[in-house]
Structure 1
Amino acid sequence: MINVTTADAVGLLELDRPDRRNALDVAQCRRIVDAVGGLLDGGVRAIVVTGSGSSFCSGADFGEVYTEGFRDALHAALRAVVEAPVPVVAAVNGPAIGAGTQLAIACDLRIATPDAVFGVPTARIGLAVDPWTVRRLARLGGGGTARAILLACDRIGAELAHARGLVDRLGDRADALSWAAELATLAPLTLRYNKLALDRADLADDDPALLTAFEDCWTSDDRREGQQARLEKRNPIFHGR
């Protein structure tokens, strides 16, 4: 089950499988896709992803991880989070293991409680994560962190993850929602362009999609609103157009 709520233009997506410590199965992965799509259709300007209870996500449900459709379902869920055109914040409230770490790093930003822990112990069970996960982990936490997690199967706690850049802030769900509410006031077109440039390192500087997103910022009503608000010494009100 997934609980979805919205307040102040922020959508909250809460994994809720307490009996499985919020492990992901095919159905749960599909619910993530639907939940993200529903929140975007509802006009949210930021999303927080978290888990119920004391676990963010304990990983893949071992009752399904070896089934034929699990990988496709998981990758679809991760893509839905990565490709959301609004900032997505992971509120990591406990263990984020395996697919849990994948879900956390699919988000744009991570905030973690002191008992949060990250790990991808695939080498202990003979499985493998996709190349995107390996590269994303290295870009966020650095090569040393990625090697420790993937080659040594180390588990990285919140403070060390924060020190190495894998976690952006230390805090709880309330802190994540407050942060997301701040993000929701920023210029949507600029955030969309920044996400595209950050996440799609494969795009050339003159890629049409990148150039279009860039020009959309400079020709937008929001750009004019930002200029006017600065002249009037007030906070701008952006509408994403």
Structure 2
Amino acid sequence: MINVSAKDAVGLIELDRPERRNALDVEHCRGLVDAMTDLLAQEVRAVVVTGAGSSFCSGADFGEVYTDGFRDALYAALHAIHDAPLPVIAAVNGPAIGAGTQLAIACDLRVAAPGAVFGVPTARIGLAVDPWTVRRLAQVGGGGTARSLLLACDQIGAELAHARGLVDRLGEREDALALARELATLAPLTLAYNKLTLDRTELAEDDPALLAAFEGCWSSEDLREGRRARAEKRSPRFSGR
């Protein structure tokens, strides 16, 4: 089961499968795609992804990981989160192992509770994650962290993950929601442009998507609103236009 809700322009996606420690199967991977599609249709400004109970996501459900279609479903879910044109925060409330770490790094920011643990032990069972996951792990956590997780099959707790940059803040779900509410007040077009640029593995000056997003910020009503708010000494009210 996946619980989806929205309040104050912030969406919440909660994996709720405690009997399997929120492990991902095809059904729940597809549910993540549907959940993000639903929240984007509601025009939320930020999204928090978390798990019910004591686990964030224990990984892939081994009852399905070897079946046809699981990998496609998993990577569709990861990219639905990664490609969303708004900030997505992982509230890592407990172990995030294998596909759980993949889910966490697909998000833009990670807030980790004391019980959070990250690990990608594919070399222990003969599986492999795709090149995007390897590059993304190195991008957000650094090359040393990626090698530690992928080559040594280490597990990293919240404090060490925070020290290495894999985790952005330490805290509970409410801290992640508070961060999301703060991000929801910022200029949506600017955030979307910043995210698009940060996620490009290679930058080209003539990239049409980046150019359009960049020029869109400079010609937006939000830019004019920011200027008015500064002159009037008040908080801006951005519309995303």
Q: Give TM class, smaller chain.
A: over 0.9
Amino acid aligned to 1:71: R
- What corresponds to 2:45 in structure 1? 45
Matched, 1:8 2:5: no
In 2: Cα distance, 1:201 partner to 1:227 partner: 33
Q: TM-score, normalised by structure 2?
A: 0.99
Which ranges in structure 2 are unaligned for 5 or more consecutive residues?
none
- What corresponds to 1:29 in structure 2? 29
4+ runs of 1 displaced by more than 6 Å?
none
Distance apart, 1:200 and its partner CA: 1.4
CA displacement 1:26-72 (0-9 Å, x = unmatched): 00000000000000001100000000000000000000000110000
In 1: Cα distance, 2:205 partner to 2:68 partner: 38
Distance apart, 1:202 and its partner CA: 2.6
CA displacement 1:127-180 (0-9 Å, x = unmatched): 000001001111111111100100000000000000000000000000000000
How many residues were matched structurally?
A: 241
- What corresponds to 1:155 in structure 2? 155
- What corresponds to 1:126 in structure 2? 126
In 1: Cα distance, 2:98 partner to 2:137 partner: 12
- What corresponds to 2:136 in structure 1? 136
Identity %: 78
The answer to which of 123-132 and 196-205 deviates more is 196-205
In 1: Cα distance, 2:79 partner to 2:139 partner: 17
- What corresponds to 1:188 in structure 2? 188
What SS is found at the alignment partner of 2:29?
helix
Q: TM-score, normalised by structure 1?
A: 0.99
Distance apart, 1:206 and its partner CA: 1.7
Amino acid aligned to 2:160: L
CA displacement 1:60-92 (0-9 Å, x = unmatched): 000000011000000000010001011000000
- What corresponds to 2:225 in structure 1? 225
What SS is found at the alignment partner of 1:90?
strand
Q: Where do residues 50-69 of structure 1 align in structure 2 (5 Å cutoff)?
A: 50-69=50-69
Matched, 1:20 2:17: no
What SS is found at the alignment partner of 2:66?
coil
In 1: Cα distance, 2:220 partner to 2:111 partner: 31
Which ranges in structure 1 are unaligned for 5 or more consecutive residues?
none
In 2: Cα distance, 1:82 partner to 1:144 partner: 22
In 2: Cα distance, 1:142 partner to 1:47 partner: 24
Distance apart, 1:204 and its partner CA: 1.1
